Amino acid sequence: MELIRRLPSVVAGTALAGLVVMTIVAVIARYVFDAPLHWGEEMSGLLMIWIIMIGAIVAERDGQHLEIPLFVDLLPTRIRAAVDLAISALSILVLGYAGWLGYLLAQSAQYKLTEILQISWFWIDIAVPVGAAGLVAYLLHRCFIDIMVIVKGEAP
What is the pLDDT at residue 156?
A: 66
- Return the C-alpha torsion angle 89, 66, 133, 57, nearest 10: -150
Domain count, the chain: 1
Q: Are 50 and 10 in contact (CB under 8 A)?
A: no
Taking only the tens place, the pLDDT of each residue in 71-112 is 877 888 888 889 899 999 999 999 999 999 999 999 999 899
User: CA-CA distance, 133 to 135, in Å (whole number)?
Assistant: 5
Q: Is the pLDDT of residue 48 over 90?
A: yes
Average pLDDT, the chain: 90
What is the extent of the structural domain holding 97?
Answer: 2-152
CB neighbourhood size of 19 (10 A)? 18
- The residue ranking higher by pLDDT, 41 or 144, is 144
